[in-house]
Chain A
Amino acid sequence: MILKSVRDGFGIGLIEAGEKNKDVVVLTADLGESTRAEGFKEKFPERFFEVGVAEQSLVTVAAGMAIAGKIPFTTTYAVFSPGRTFEQIKVTAALNNLPVKIVGAHAGFGAAPYGATHESLEDIALMRVIPNMVVISPCDYEEAKKATLAVAGNGKPSYLRLSRQESPVISTPLRQGSAGQEFEIGKINVLKYAEKPQVAIIGCGPILAEALDASKILKNQEIDVMVINSHTIKPLDEAGILKAAKLCGAIVTCEEHQIAGGLGSAIAEFLAKKHPVPIEFIGVHDSFGESARDWKELWEKHGLTSKYIENAVRRVIVRKADNINI
């Protein structure tokens, strides 16, 4: 299994975006290296701006650059932006409707030893309530590259959520020369098909590797599930989600984020209206993070690993059966 980080994919994608379009500029708030914006700086120093540890300025200066016709990527940890910069993003990026790209690194539990202050579990919720915003959480290195290129060209205010930890490359089949799955903003990708799936597991980010693990174990127990990557939280792929809900009749959502306000919430809001089915939510249950050796310890503690996903699948199958029996 190939292990690579989402942030490294972003760093490579950013250089490629810069090569393709001279209007791409990058700003950082004293975190160029750990967000992987540094590669862009080395290649295009004249298009790189260091604003200091000043996240409010990071976003608002970027908005001014977008008014001047640039495509600015702002880079820092997600806890700081969008964590600190909600109003700046709402007013100067989204209400102005400018193509400012908010890049939130070390999202989820990636900064584990640093503790709760550095663990961003609310950023999807913050960004998805803002009109005009596009919200994307890539699941692996390859998808992060593609997502970076895609948001560079989408002409819209966009949030790109990056994970720090090395995680399996799951969006690309392990064949020589394969380009992997197509990436299109607002379109789900099916990571695992099943002939007659009983449940659709829909998630975003590296936690999808856990969902794939769960699907293998469940398969051995003759429970067929499909695994869907909804990398775009906003705009949600409503057609794709609806199709999965109708096909499976039950859903488990998973994300490295608070359950409140995340991808699962977005899916539940949509399906409650269009095609209600039982849903179980894998995510953080209204609690803060804390220090740990690494993200794995926190995933285990907060119920984000494959065994929790397996159990959620079993629970939702029972609920589905109960519904049918009623």
Chain B
Amino acid sequence: MEKMMNMIKPSQNELEKKALQVRKDIVDMIYTAGSGHPGGSLSATELLVALYFGGMEKSDKFFLSNGHVCPAWYSVMIEAGLVDKDLLLTYAKLGSPLQGHPERTKLSLVENTSGPLGLGLAQAAGYAAIKRDSQVYCMVSDAEHNEGNTWEAISFANKYKLSNLTLIVDKNNIQIEGTTDEIMPLGSLASKYQSFGWETVEIDGHNFEEIFQAFEKAKSFVDNPCVIIANTIFGKGVSFMKANPDWHAKAPDKEQYKKAMEELK
């Protein structure tokens, strides 16, 4: 993150303010575009805020695998001064660098084009295998563990002992057509990762203190890659989206938009 502006971790209060602003931006972007993925964007908010406000250092790299949560990511990068604020509401519109799913060739801060699930971790691992001195972060969704490509990458990262790789799982328990338990049960992700040779940390993915502690702990492992399993709430901050799979990929109508923005005051 060469353009990373703020290396000093803001106070708890400031972080919470930023998270609130990001949530408003998410709803605004998706309402304006008439398209987008609010549920996962709202669950990933604190994790992304933490990465860009104190989590990552200048030489670190971030790979987003679950690209559909990009409204949250774009907003965080705008908050961090990395992306022009005027672009916010161009999201998913013709000609915008803020594509409906992030594209490397459209926005230079995007390392890996993403959206199709299961492709991001392998790219992060490939990068980490080459740049052994750089700390690499990757975020995946829980449902991406349905994808074989994810497990192939998990094996690769173990084989090549990518201790410079920190994976964050946004475990919000919801996928397109239902809960992860209904669609394809994940079982114990932590024990699965452990049996694949990874270090594991489990946290509340909305608690900044736990998130930053997990980042530090992940970096302390010198032999193996580490996964942070972040338990999050799908649609967090908007009552009618909370834990409701209907809001995986749906834009609010005018009434819903007003209600959501009211709740996010």
A and B are partners in one complex rather than unrelated chains: yes
What residues of chain A have their CB less than 8 Å away from a CB belonging to chain B?
25, 49, 51-52, 54, 56-57, 60-70, 72, 87-88, 91-92, 95-97
Find out whether the CB atom of A91 lies under 8 angstroms from the CB atom of B149. no
Question: 8 Å CB contacts to A: which residues of B98-138?
Answer: 103-105, 111-116, 118-119, 122-131
What residues of chain B have their CB less than 8 Å away from a CB belonging to chain A?
63, 103-105, 111-116, 118-119, 122-131, 148-149, 152-153, 155-156, 159-160
Find out whether the CB atom of B105 lies under 8 angstroms from the CB atom of A92. no
State in angstroms the CA–CA spacing of A57 and B121 once bound together.
Answer: 9
Across the interface, which residues of B come within 8 angstroms of A54, CB to CB? 152, 155-156
Q: A68-B130, A91-B116 are in contact. List 7 more A-B contacts (CB 8 A).
A: A56-B118, A56-B148, A57-B152, A62-B126, A67-B104, A70-B130, A97-B104
For residue B154, give the distance in angstroms from its CB to the closest CB of chain A. Answer: 9
Find out whether the CB atom of A56 lies under 8 angstroms from the CB atom of B122. yes
By secondary structure, the A interface counts as: helix
State in angstroms the CA–CA spacing of A62 and B119 once bound together.
Answer: 11
Total of A-B residue pairs, C-beta within 8 Å: 93
Looking at A49, A57, A87, which has the most chain B CB atoms within 10 Å of its CB? Answer: A57
Contact of B129 among A56, A61, A66 (CB under 8 A): A61
6 A-B pairs with C-beta separation under 8 A: A63-B123, A64-B112, A64-B130, A67-B104, A68-B127, A87-B116
For residue A9, give the distance in angstroms from its CB to the closest CB of chain B. Answer: 27
Across the interface, which residues of A come within 8 angstroms of B116, CB to CB? 87, 91
Find out whether the CB atom of A60 lies under 8 angstroms from the CB atom of B127. no
For residue A94, give the distance in angstroms from its CB to the closest CB of chain B. Answer: 9
For residue A100, give the distance in angstroms from its CB to the closest CB of chain B. Answer: 10
Find out whether the CB atom of A96 lies under 8 angstroms from the CB atom of B119. no
State in angstroms the CA–CA spacing of A68 and B132 once bound together.
Answer: 11
Across the interface, which residues of A come within 8 angstroms of B123, CB to CB? 60-61, 63-64, 67, 92
Across the interface, which residues of B come within 8 angstroms of A91, CB to CB? 113-116, 119
Contact of A63 among B126, B156, B160 (CB under 8 A): B126
Q: Which residue of B lies closest to A23 (CB)?
A: B130
Find out whether the CB atom of A64 lies under 8 angstroms from the CB atom of B105. no
Across the interface, which residues of B come within 8 angstroms of A49, CB to CB? 129, 160
For residue B36, give the distance in angstroms from its CB to the closest CB of chain A. Answer: 19
Across the interface, which residues of A come within 8 angstroms of B104, CB to CB? 67, 95-97
State in angstroms the CA–CA spacing of A69 and B152 once bound together.
Answer: 22
Contact of B111 among A25, A57, A65, A67 (CB under 8 A): A67
State in angstroms the CA–CA spacing of A92 and B119 once bound together.
Answer: 8
Q: Which residue of B lies closest to A56 (CB)?
A: B149
Q: Which residue of A lies closest to B154 (CB)?
A: A57
Find out whether the CB atom of A96 lies under 8 angstroms from the CB atom of B112. yes
Across the interface, which residues of A come within 8 angstroms of B118, CB to CB? 56
State in angstroms the CA–CA spacing of A63 and B159 once bound together.
Answer: 18
Find out whether the CB atom of B130 lies under 8 angstroms from the CB atom of A69. yes
Contact of B122 among A25, A64, A72, A87 (CB under 8 A): A64
Across the interface, which residues of B come within 8 angstroms of A92, CB to CB? 112-113, 119, 123
Q: Which residue of B lies closest to A85 (CB)?
A: B149
Find out whether the CB atom of B130 lies under 8 angstroms from the CB atom of A96. no
For residue A247, give the distance in angstroms from its CB to the closest CB of chain B. Answer: 40
Given the contacts A54-B155, A87-B116, A68 and B131 also touching, CB distance less than 8 Å:
yes
Find out whether the CB atom of B130 lies under 8 angstroms from the CB atom of A60. no
Find out whether the CB atom of A65 lies under 8 angstroms from the CB atom of B126. yes
Given the contacts A51-B156, A96-B105, A57 and B113 also touching, CB distance less than 8 Å:
no
State in angstroms the CA–CA spacing of A258 and B11 once bound together.
Answer: 63
